[in-house]
Structure 1
Amino acid sequence: MPEGMLVTGATGFIGGQLIRRLADQPSIVVRGAVRATPAGDHSGLIAVGEINGDTDWSEALKGQHAIVHTAARAHIMDDEAADPLTEFRSVNVAGTLNLARQAAAAGVERFVFISSIKVNGEQTTSGHCFTADDVPAPEDPYGISKREAEEGLQQIAEETGLEVVIIRPPLVYGQGVKGNFANMTKLIAKGFPLPLGAIHNKRSLVALDNLLDLIINCIANPAAANQVFLVSDGEDLSTSELLRCVGKAMGQPARLLPVPAKLLQIGATVLGKKAMAQRLLGSLQVDTSKTREMLGWEPPVSVDEGLRRCFKNSQDE
Structure 2
Amino acid sequence: MNIIVTGASGFVGQNLTQYFANKQYKMTALSLRNENWAESLEQNATALIHLAGKAHDVENTSNPNEYFHINRDLTIKLFEQFLQSNIRDFFYFSSVKAVVDTAQSIVDEYVEAKPLTPFGQSKLEAEQFLLSQTLPIGKRLFIIRPCMIHGAGNKGNLNLLYKVVEKGIPWPLASFHNQRSFLSIDNLNFLIGQMLLKDNLASGVYHFADDETLSTNELITLISKTLDKKPKLWFIPIGIIKSLVKVGDILPLPLNSERLKKLTESYVVSNKKIKQALGIEKLPVTAKLGLEKTILSFKARGTES
- TM over 0.5, yes or no? yes
Maintained 8 Å contact 2:43/2:86? no
Q: CA–CA distance in 1 between the matches of 2:227 and 2:36?
A: 42
Q: CA–CA distance in 2 between the matches of 1:169 and 1:253?
A: 32
The residue aligned with 2:253 is none
Q: CA–CA distance in 2 between the matches of 1:260 and 1:232?
A: 31
RMSD: 2.0
The residue aligned with 2:252 is none
Q: CA deviation at 1:296?
A: 1.7
Query: Residue 239 and residue 312 in structure 1: after superposition, are their counterparts in 2 closer, same or farther (change >3 A)?
Result: closer
Choose from 13, 16, 24 the match for 1:15. Answer: 13
Maintained 8 Å contact 1:112/1:218? no
Please tell me whether residue 94 in structure 1 is matched to residue 92 in structure 2.
Answer: no
For each residue in 1:92-112, what CA deviation from the matched residue of structure 2 results, as whole angstroms up to 9, or x when unmatched? Answer: 111111111112212111111
Query: Residue 230 and residue 307 in structure 1: after superposition, are their counterparts in 2 closer, same or farther (change >3 A)?
Result: same
Q: CA deviation at 1:56?
A: 2.7
Q: CA deviation at 1:309?
A: 1.7
The residue aligned with 1:39 is none
Please tell me whether residue 222 in structure 1 is matched to residue 219 in structure 2.
Answer: no
Instruction: Count the aligned residue pairs.
Output: 293
Q: CA–CA distance in 2 between the matches of 1:134 and 1:314?
A: 35
Q: CA–CA distance in 2 between the matches of 1:281 and 1:307?
A: 17
The residue aligned with 1:135 is 112
Please tell me whether residue 76 in structure 1 is matched to residue 57 in structure 2.
Answer: yes
Q: CA–CA distance in 2 between the matches of 1:193 and 1:252?
A: 11
Please tell me whether residue 108 in structure 1 is matched to residue 92 in structure 2.
Answer: no
| Counterpart residue identity of residue 13, structure 2 | G
Q: CA deviation at 1:55?
A: 5.6
Q: CA–CA distance in 1 between the matches of 2:36 and 2:125?
A: 19
Query: Residue 216 and residue 261 in structure 1: after superposition, are their counterparts in 2 closer, same or farther (change >3 A)?
Result: farther
The residue aligned with 1:6 is 4
| TM-score for both structures, normalised by structure 1 | 0.85
Please tell me whether residue 282 in structure 1 is matched to residue 271 in structure 2.
Answer: no
For each residue in 1:154-204, what CA deviation from the matched residue of structure 2 results, as whole angstroms up to 9, or x when unmatched? Answer: 123x15454110111111111111122222212221112220223211111
Maintained 8 Å contact 1:198/1:240? no
Maintained 8 Å contact 1:165/1:224? no
Q: CA–CA distance in 2 between the matches of 1:21 and 1:279?
A: 29
Choose from 262, 267, 277 the match for 1:294. Answer: 277
Any unmatched runs of 5+ in structure 2?
250-255
The residue aligned with 2:23 is 25
The residue aligned with 1:118 is 97
Q: CA deviation at 1:58?
A: 2.7
Q: CA deviation at 1:91?
A: 0.8
For each residue in 1:269-309, what CA deviation from the matched residue of structure 2 results, as whole angstroms up to 9, or x when unmatched? Answer: 45432222211222111122212212223321112211222
For each residue in 1:26-49, what CA deviation from the matched residue of structure 2 results, as whole angstroms up to 9, or x when unmatched? Answer: 3x3111224xxxxxxxxxxxxx42
Query: Residue 308 and residue 282 in structure 1: after superposition, are their counterparts in 2 closer, same or farther (change >3 A)?
Result: closer
Maintained 8 Å contact 1:154/1:226? no
Choose from 174, 185, 193 the match for 2:151. Answer: 174
| Counterpart residue identity of residue 79, structure 1 | N
Q: CA–CA distance in 1 between the matches of 2:286 and 2:145?
A: 19
Query: Residue 73 and residue 314 in structure 1: after superposition, are their counterparts in 2 closer, same or farther (change >3 A)?
Result: closer
| Counterpart residue identity of residue 25, structure 1 | K
Query: Residue 288 and residue 193 in structure 1: after superposition, are their counterparts in 2 closer, same or farther (change >3 A)?
Result: same
| TM-score for both structures, normalised by structure 2 | 0.88
| Counterpart residue identity of residue 274, structure 1 | S
SS at match of 1:30: strand
